[in-house]
Amino acid sequence: MEDGKDDDDMDAVLNKDPDDASRRKTKASANKSLITRNLRLAYGETLSEPVPDHLLELLGKIDRKEGER
């Protein structure tokens, strides 16, 4: 069953517009910048959050146990 799809795919590869690669790189760069910005924002927000009391208590218990050794 030949539907010509392979020929269409080959034409798309062989007849690429040189500007397509440039557009893809620009879009990829923009996406990377957006992801980087959002990760920095999320990480910065996380760093500014206080450590919950129950975790501080747990860390204190661990320190005391290690001090007994």
The per-residue pLDDT of the chain, averaged, comes to 82
5 pLDDT higher than 60: no
Q: Report the chain's terminal Cα–Cα distance, integer Å.
A: 76
Q: What is the number of domains present in the chain?
A: 1
14 pLDDT higher than 60: yes
2 pLDDT higher than 70: no
pLDDT tens profile 42-64: 999 888 899 999 999 999 999 99
* Euclidean distance between CA atoms 10 and 24, whole angstroms: 19
Tokens of 40: 């920095």
Cα separation values, 50 from 3, 36, 45, 56, Å: 62, 24, 10, 10
Predicted pLDDT at 1 = 46
Structural domain range at position 41 = 5-68
